[in-house]
Amino acid sequence: MDRFAYLLTEAQGLSREVLGGKGFGLVAMHRAGLPVPPAFILSTAACRRFLQEGEVPGLWEEVEAKVAALEGLTGKRFGRGEGGAPPLLVSVRSGAPVSMPGMMDTILNLGLSLEGVGALARATGNPRFAWDAFRRLLAMYGEVVLGERAEVFEERLSALKARRGVRTDAELSAEDLEELALGYLRHLEARGTPFPLDPWAQLRGAVEAVFRSWQNPRARTYRRIYGIPEDLGTAVVVQAMVFGNLGEDSGTGVGFTRNPATGEKGLYGEYLRNAQGEDVVAGVRTPEPLERLLDYAPGLYREIEAIAQLLERHFRDMQDFEFTVERGRLYLLQTRSGKRTAQAAVRIAVEMAEEGLITREEAVLRVEANALPGLLRPAVDRERAPKPFLQGLPASPGAAFGHAVFSNEAAERYAAQGLPAVLVRPETTPEDITGMYLAKGILTARGGLTSHAAVVARGLGVPAVVGAEALRVYPEEGRAVAEGVEIREGDLLTLDGGTGAVYLGAVPLVEAQGEALLAKLLAWAEPHRRLGVRANADTPLDASRARAFGAEGIGLCRTEHMFFAEERLPWVRRLILAATEEEEEAALSALFAFQKEDFKAILRAMDGLPVTVRLLDPPLHEFLPPWEELKAKAEAGDEEAQALLERAQALREQNPMLGFRGVRLLLLRPSILRMQLRALLEAAQELRQEGLDPRPEVMVPLVADPKEVERARALAEELFRVYGPIPFGTMIETPRAALLAGEIAPLVDFFSFGTNDLTQMAFGLSRDDAGKFLPRYVEEGLFPFDPTERLDEKGVGRLLRLAVEEGRRANPRLKVGLCGEHGGEARSVALVAPLLDYTSASPYRVLTARLAAAQAGLKEGVAAG
């Protein structure tokens, strides 16, 4: 018979995948002799079995045996006070193999009944504490197991505090808390979901609810955001309760062995006296910095400091640990590798390597490559910024500017319109994960630097200000008030996540500065990188910026982006309207001059490095005004608008992205190809005359047949005979081109995979429209992830591998790169690193591509070794 339950002493040697991260950490701390309350762990296999079959044979017999063991270790009886001892109460917590802070469910004080409250009050001599524990259990159990909204309990608590004229829970009396708890009981009874007073029924309900929480919407959203597999399941930790709400000599806290926002070495965290752990994490009350313990409990502070150092040495990583102090005695409840900002991740990795705690190779592997753009976030220009109207705590660095929103739904609306949003909440809960992910910044009225909002914002790389106590937020009304100022949905806010300042409207920002520690980490990484890294850049500024980030050239310069400037668009429209050769020649001549100067500036910025120029790709209708605008002007008598409307009608297509664009347009209107290529070749020629070393390459988009490539190359060769040849290549972005790569390769010098279009065509979906259903597809498990964000290995990856293998077989000198948006996404880079010569990413993702490529090289070396 399978085994599903393990005491801490029985679980040594079992993996994180079996015990979950929380259980694994508890076992390690217990083995190290640290003060951990007795506990047992239900494995992830039990969760998976429960979710598949609805029950786990033999599980409850194992649970009863483990509870009996806890009774023996604590000298208490589960749910019953005997011989003057308090009843044994337990916490029931989720613990997935991968850290998912706050995404699943926890229940504290489990095992209490009305009789148990009396026994607990007598044993502790503290009736207030006993009723406080019971009302917390009722609220947690009511929400997690019985399905009541958390707001119902919070509203009753807030109303009671208002009647008593107090601000915090700690100011309520025993009688107040008894009234509150009995009210909760009556409410649950009235709604048809009575609270079970039998401790064993409570335990079974709680364990099954924690299993089910693996599938709750916020947990699934979190897994989708972070690419966590759906089939891991969660372990459940059942642990003897220790109490931080027994008085002023008790409390609860969260500590970090290093600052999770900056990476600075040293104990960092928060403590809340006379409270339970959920108060800190949920941000219900704003805690005080751990350093304050030095004022009234210096011995406790030194003990926590020593334990923090021990944890970091043992796990060889920055740890985030939770603890409770019960009447002056310290207990550790959890440890895990702490969530951190990109800035902190780099600093921690480099400094740990320099301290000898980890190797340089481990340091390179420790930093999440996709998080590096967070280092490049702009900051508030504090010299030019006005005085902030509101001050909170700096929870996640960087500047965020956007429209105030007060709900997930509002954040989704603004994101759908391409508008930046700042999520404003009293405090965030795990239910807010969608809005937090979509928002450019997060602002909360309550909570500290280790609250849910702070931890999740740092993990997401979103600037955040928390604990702005002067802020009053009314989410249902879509407004907030602070310092006499009302903020409505849509009002503009700027957050400074580095100082905690909040500004009305937009304030001046400054570009992020390069980090010396990042440069050091990348220097350690470079020897392990085989894959080249170029940039997608269309302007001299982008080219210069990308080069500063370490780009080794430009892998995609999109020429159509040069045509949209105000002085150029009229000439493109004249080209579209040209009725005679003379009119077409005049338009092309003007565009040629613009293109040549653009190319010169970009080639100059990338002097000595390759610059791959993609010839015109989009359909011509994209250069015309919107249809409705043209129609209105034409009806008003505008002759030019009338002409453009007639031409737009002629160019109109049912599916223009699969229509007259790319190589099809260039072959049937070859004058455009000749103009663009001549501009590129003359730009390079003039730069050579200046003594520079331009290295242009030309690329034809959207081919589907070797004959298209053959014809385009023939047109190019006419100019190569005049100016000299340059590398000629094509984008592989249609499935047919990938399948015929062996026939296309002998005609070109390089392939560049345009994975944006290749993904769209392979899946038969539009990147522009798929947002309406793809998130739901991922939630339902139909797709493991969004293939427009991360390269699909099974389908698109197979096309890519086939094209590379057949292309190189037919042309051994063929260079192969990737220039779609996937080229700057770490998991996609790791996938293609063994196959390609280079990847190309947007300038701010060049750092991601460099680090991801090095990490892929390191892992490949380890696998080979």
CB 579: neighbour CB atoms within 10 A?
A: 9
In sequence order, the 6+-apart residues with CB closer than 8 A to the CB of 98 are 21, 226, 228, 232
Q: How many Cα atoms are found within 13 Å in the side-chain-facing hemisphere of 858?
A: 18
166-197: b (≥16 Cβ within 10 Å) or e: eeebbebeeebbbbbbebbbebbeeeeeebbe
CB 402 within 8 A of CB 441: yes
CB 853 within 8 A of CB 861: no
Instruction: Identify the burial level of 147 via C-beta atoms within 10 angstroms of its C-beta, where 0-12 means exposed, 13-18 middle and 19 or more buried.
Output: exposed
Sheet order of strands, 421-425 included:
390-391, 501-504, 492-496, 399-405, 421-425, 441-444, 464-466, 393-396
CA 91 from chain centre, in angstroms, equals 30
For the chain, the farthest-separated pair of C-alpha atoms sits apart, in whole angstroms, at: 106
Catalytic residue among 528, 621, 819, 822: 819
> How many whole angstroms separate alpha carbon 684 and alpha carbon 599?
8
> How many whole angstroms separate alpha carbon 729 and alpha carbon 405?
47
Residue with tokens 């092309």: 588
Q: At what angle do helices 199-213 and 59-74 cross, to 10 degrees?
A: 120
Q: Report the alpha-carbon angle 189-195-200, nearest 5.
A: 155
* Catalytic residue check, 819: yes
| DSSP secondary structure letter of residue 241 | -
Catalytic residue among 403, 452, 528, 621: 452
In sequence order, the 6+-apart residues with CB closer than 8 A to the CB of 512 are 375, 376, 377, 378, 379, 398
In sequence order, the 6+-apart residues with CB closer than 8 A to the CB of 655 are none
Token output for 264: 């600075």
Kindly give the pairing relationship between strand 695-700 and strand 728-732.
parallel
Nearest partner of 574 among 640, 505, 639, judged by Cα: 640
Q: Which residues pair with 239 in a beta bridge?
A: 39, 91
Residue with tokens 């976030």: 377
Q: Which residues pair with 124 in a beta bridge?
A: none
* Catalytic residue check, 47: no
In sequence order, the 6+-apart residues with CB closer than 8 A to the CB of 237 are 20, 22, 23, 26, 39, 40, 41, 42, 91, 92, 93, 94, 95
DSSP letter for each residue of 537-552 = --SHHHHHHHHHTT--
> How many whole angstroms separate alpha carbon 662 and alpha carbon 338?
48
Integer Rg of the chain from CA? 31
Residues recognised as catalytic: 452, 819
